[in-house]
Amino acid sequence: MRESWLPEVLPLRQASRQVVRELGFLQNHFDGASAAQCHALLELEHHGTLTSGDLAELLSVDKSTASRTASELVRRGWARVTDGGQDRRRKPLVLSARGKRKLESIHRTASGQVDGALRLLGPEERARVLEGMQLYAKALGRSRAQSELEVRPIERRDDPEVARLIRTVMPEFGACGPGFAIMDPEVDAMHAAYTAPGSAYWVVTRRGRVVGGGGYARLEGAQRSVCELRKMYFLHELRGLGVGARLLSSCLEHAARDGYELCYLETLEGMTRARRLYERFGFERLERPMGATGHYGCDVWYARKLRAC
């Protein structure tokens, strides 16, 4: 039962170990600050304001490390705590003038090292180094994000989180007020609403939190052979990871198995990425709505035939 890896895996690991050692990440400090402190300063520079929780997430370190790093930045005068707004649990940090000076020194050292190495290469080699590293960074991030996700049928205990999900995402696209699904009574009791035969709803979780969901049910006011794709929403952090495709294909497969012959959906012109996804899956735009969903706020309608498997 030996796994078999892509042929690039071993040499790539070897090369990146070398890079990590050269950049000094087996040691813990760098220019008088710990590695985490340097990274924290750089992220503060980039984002302006960050809480210790944000730092933990961004740097992939434990929240305790992030907390201590934050205190240390303050103690050394490199950052200070600003007003947390309403919520007095939050303690957002911003760079101080001294922190900015420190950052300049870090940039000088680090850029000097990288610059020195790149100057040993030709211009097209430099471009390939950069491109390769950017591709790799992106792929690693997406891979981790995907591995943290879980897709499972909705349970009763998910109801509050799913309601919050829907109430968070829809207004982002201006879908609030009457005529939108956000006003449906089922929003607060999704589990009960999707237990009937011929319907289903899945949630996408990340580290135990509901970050997306979607399902289908019989289309109200239409033939029994038509189902409606319903309430498919993803938090921003989830987009671009291919989860939509996973969830959508689940829905279509189960709907076909349930005996439906057509899948209908209504959405908004402004939900561009969602529409692209539907179109990629073979949905075709309709001139007018079908059935009687009561969602007169929607302005785009799609349908797609389902093959019984």
Partner DNA sequence: GAAGATTGAAACCTCAATCTTT
Partner DNA sequence: AAAGATTGAGGTTTCAATCTTC
Amino acid making up residue 74: V
Give dist(CA 273, CA 175) in Å, integer: 16
DSSP state of 242: S
89 binds, among a second copy, DNA, none (CB under 5 to 8 A by kind): DNA
Instruction: Work out how close the CB of 107 gets to a second copy at its nearest, in angstroms, rounded to a whole number.
Output: 9
Strand ranges across the sheet with 209-218: 149-153, 200-206, 209-218, 226-234, 262-267, 300-305, 284-285
Helix axes 35-47, 63-75, angle to 10 degrees: 80
Binder among 47, 77, 101, 139 for a second copy (CB under 8 A): 139
Nearer to DNA, 69 or 267 (CB): 69
Instruction: Work out how close the CB of 220 gets to DNA at its nearest, in angstroms, rounded to a whole number.
Output: 34
- Binders of a second copy among residues 61 to 90 (CB under 8 A) are 61-62
Binding range to a second copy, per CB under 8 A, among 120-128, 201-209, 216-224, 271-279 = 120-128
Q: Is 114 in the site for a second copy (CB under 8 A)?
A: yes
- DSSP letters along 186-210, please? GGGGHHHHT-STT-EEEEEEETTEE
132 binds, among a second copy, DNA, none (CB under 5 to 8 A by kind): a second copy
Binder among 88, 89, 97, 120 for a second copy (CB under 8 A): 120
Burial 15-45 (b: 16+ CB within 10 A, else e): eeeeeeeeeeeeeeebeebbbbbbbbbbbbe
Nearer to DNA, 35 or 298 (CB): 35
86 binds, among a second copy, DNA, none (CB under 5 to 8 A by kind): DNA
Give dist(CA 302, CA 228) in Å, integer: 10
Token pair listed for 74? 């303050």
- Binders of DNA among residues 17 to 56 (CB under 7 A) are 26-29, 33-37, 51-54
Site residues (CB under 7 A) for DNA?
A: 26-29, 33-37, 51-54, 61-65, 67-72, 86-92, 209
Residues that bind a second copy (CB under 8 A): 3, 5-6, 8-13, 15-27, 35-36, 39, 42, 58-62, 108, 110-121, 125-137, 139-144, 147
